[in-house]
Structure formats: C-alpha cells, structure tokens
Amino acid sequence: MTGLGPLSYFPLFVRSCTFQSGSRVWGCGPCCSAGCPSPFHCLSEQDCNEIKGERFTRLKTKLFVSNVLAEDRGNYMCQTILLHSGKKYKVLNGITVSTKRVEYGGSIPKIIYPKNNSIEVQLGTTLIVDCNITDTKDNTNLRCWRVNNTLVDVYYNESKRIREGVESYVSFQERNLYTVNITFLEVKMEDYGLPFMCHAGVSTAYIILQLPAPDFRAYLIGGLFALMAVAVCVVYFYNIFKIDIVLWYRSAFHPTGTVEDGKLYDAYVLYPKPHKESQRHAVDALVLKILPEVLERQCGYKLFIFGRDEFPGQAVANVIDENVKLCRRLMVIVVPESLGFGLLKNLPEEQIAVYNALIQDGMKVILIELEKIEDYTAMPQSIQYIKQKHGAIRWQGDFTEQSQCAKTKFWKTVRYHMPPRRCPPSLPVQLLQHAPCNRMAGPKLGSRRKKGTLTTV
C-alpha cells in the first residue's frame, strides 16, 4: 500500500479451540488484541486471503467460527492500519489455532442463569438481564446472546435498541464464572414472546419477555376507593337535591288507591291567635288562605284546620282529641313571642295536639316559623323538643300570588315533609281539573266551615 511504513508484528498468541462432534461451536477469537484499531481484516496464513464464508462472522475485534471442523486448525492473521506520528503502519497479529475432539463426558459450560424462564416486564421500560456461566479456565467457548439464530448486535445493528454487554468473569480455583448481559433500552411489544438465547459453547438457555399479570390487589383497592368516592359523591349530591329527588320519585311512582291506615287527613294545622289585628291577619292569611290553596288545591292534600273544619256546636276538647288522631302529620305554625305565641302556652288545644303527636301516635311534626326566631327558650318545652328533633322551616313569601306556587323552595320543603299522596283512580271528569303538582286534583276541600270563619276558594 502506498505511503505505508515498515511492518510491525505483535507476538503470536497460541489458543486452543475444542469442539464436540456434530455440534455447533462458536468462537476462537479474539482475532485482534485489545485496542487494535478498526477496520481490520482476518487472513488465513496459508494463502494470505481474507477469511470469508457462512461459517465465519466478524464482529468488533473477534472472529466467530460456526460449527468448528478439524481442518479449521492453523494460523490466522489480523491485519489493520495504525496511524502513528502522522505515518501509517501496517499492523499484524497472529493466532495459532488447534482443535481437538471432545468425547461424551467432557467439560461442557454450565449456564446458571437464565433457566429457560420468562420475565415479566412493563412495556417501554429498560431491562438488563445477565447470563451467568461456569466454564473451565482454558476454554475458548464463545459466550453471547442471540435472537432468531442471529447475534443480537447484528440483529439490532440499525436501531441498537438491544445490545450485548461486555463480558466479565470472576476466577475461582478450577473454573471461571462468566457474565455477559443483554440490555433492552426500551422494551417494545415485538419483544414479548420472542426467545432471547444465551449461548456458551454447546450450552444454551433462553428468556422470554412477558407482560406483567394484572395486579388484582391494586384493582381491588382502586375499586374500593372508587366506590367510596362514588358513595361520597352520591351522598353529597343527594343531600343537596334530596328534596327534588323525593318529590320527583313520588310524582313518577305514586301509588293509586286509598291509604289503609285509618287516617282521614294528611295534616292537622296548629297555629297561634295573636291579639293584634295586623299579626292575626298574617297568621290567618297563611293558615286559612295560602296553605289550603297550595297544599289542598294544587297538591291534593287534605288538611284539618281548627276554626274551619270542625262541626258547629262540638266541644273544643273533643274536636281536637278526635281529629288529631285522624291526621298523619302535625303542622305547627310558630311566631316570635312578641307576636303572641306565648298566648298558646296554656290553651288545651296545643297541649292535647302536641301530646298526641309526640307521645301516643309518634306523629311526625312539621314546624313552620312565620318569622325568624332566635331564641326558643321562652317557648314551651314541647315546642323546644320539636325544634331540636325535627328542625324548623322558615316561611318565605309576602302573601302574594307569587308565594302560592307549589314549586318554590319553601313549598317543596313542606311537601317533602308531608306524607306521600295516593292518587285515586283516574275519572274522566278529573282530567279537566288543574293539577300543577302532577297529581289529580280532588274535590274542593274545606267544605265544612264554621259559621263566621274565613272561607277559602
């Protein structure tokens, strides 16, 4: 070659290759010594021609020989070009190879790991797997990783996504422990189910990558947390919209027919009777006009209002005692003491109604504040108990027609605490009547009037 300096020779290294008859044995390298620059050419010393053929593979500084034969023995030369002090030198390194037959029972490399096993690995992760091999100290067996009968470095030469690592070993008294790893920079779907073979002379073992099995504990814990979150959300939204939900359910799935509970009225209305005309007018407007309009005419409830529904000439105590027992709810209208609620403290009507509701019948009580009451300490003990147990609904309105709509927040709350209405079987004449609450309006209620009391239309 033009411009080349004098030849420089390295000492020859004598190595011995062993093979078993009929087997495939890889190795007899290295061709060049460590640090030998590339590119290089492996030559046969017999004819000084470059070594080529299907059985010969050149990779890095090694020459791999497949299916070693007896005639493969001889001298091999590694030739490359070395640049030194601006001059080019031809560098040669020689290796003498001898072969011998290994009979049955000879020393065969033992692969400790892998053991033809599978490895669970997540998609897209990095994975390093070691191949651990024990072999004699004077062996020339090639230790490498192969896939589809091809060296991994050759198979993935373009992407270099999967590479074979540098071999290392630990020396013991009679044998060496060799380690050569394979590195997956990124596990892809195409790698799953493909056997990656670790070769050590005639010994082989493989690994197969698998997707991890589903972690049912994680799914179970996640499912429990999801159920808890859903339950919390359901309870939260139910507390916000429970009134609308209950009213919708009653409207959509209301039963028909009469209630066989022995009751004639849905609620008994108990209210104060202030002395001042302005105060009495507000209470009477709510009890005798607005309550019947909304609950009876629009929603189909039946109320018993003392002063409107009792028969003339009846004893007050008998009227109250008998009719409270015929009602499903007790509705108590309260006002601040300054508006006259204290006048009711000793009236037998209140005593009898509250006693029957709380003690005898366990009746549910609906407490309605006509105005905001800050302190209940001046109220009777029974009213304080009702407030503490059932709470109170504060009146919201101004006694106008706009306050008489059953779909306002106040009336929805009252209807929520009222018992569910049972609609009677449909009659042709009832289809023409007005029923804003999705209920058939019954016959006009409150027909029994005490003479001289306010009549509601």
The answer to whether residues 387 and 278 belong to one domain is yes
> Side-chain half-sphere of 226: how many Cα atoms within 13 Å?
6
Please indicate, yes or no, whether residues 272 and 342 belong to a single structural domain of this protein: yes
**Structural domain span for residue 296:** 265-417
pLDDT > 80? residue 305: yes
Amino acid 345: pLDDT = 52
User: Does 39 sit behind a cis peptide bond, omega within 30 degrees of 0 on the bond before it?
Assistant: yes
pLDDT tens per residue, range 175-213: 999 999 999 999 999 999 999 999 998 899 999 999 998
In this predicted structure, what is the pLDDT of residue 337?
57
Is position 151 within any domain? Answer: yes
Minimum mean pLDDT among 148-152, 269-273, 336-340, 412-416: which range?
A: 336-340
Number of residues in the chain: 457
Residues with Cβ within 8 Å of 438's Cβ and at least 6 positions away in sequence, in order, are 251
Whether residues 299 and 195 fall in one domain: no
In angstroms, the CA 60 to CA 163 distance is 13
pLDDT in tens, 67-88: 777 777 777 777 777 787 888 8
**Mapping DSSP to helix (H, G, I), strand (E, B) and coil, where does residue 428 land?**
helix
What whole-number distance in Å separates Cα of residue 142 and Cα of residue 64?
8
* 328's tokens: 């499903």
List residues bridging with 8 in a β-sheet: 91
**Statement to judge: residues 282 and 343 lie in one domain:** yes
387 and 326 in a single domain? The answer is yes
Question: pLDDT tens, 409-438?
Answer: 889 999 999 988 755 444 443 333 334 444
Tell me if 308 is assigned to some domain: yes
Q: Which amino acid is at 153?
A: D
Question: Could you tell me if 206 and 226 lie in one domain?
Answer: no
Report the C-alpha gap between 28 and 95 in whole angstroms. 9
**Predicted structure pTM score:** 0.48
Q: Which residues are catalytic?
A: 349
What 3-state class would DSSP assign to 255? coil
DSSP state of 256: B
Residue 118 has pLDDT above 70, yes or no: yes
The C-alpha torsion from 265 through 266 and 269 to 270, rounded to 10°, is: 90
What's residue 196's pLDDT? Answer: 96
Token representation of residue 339 = 């508006």
On whether residue 383 sits in a domain, the answer given is: yes
pLDDT in tens, 321-344: 788 888 888 888 888 754 444 445
CATH of the domain at 346: 3.40.50.10140
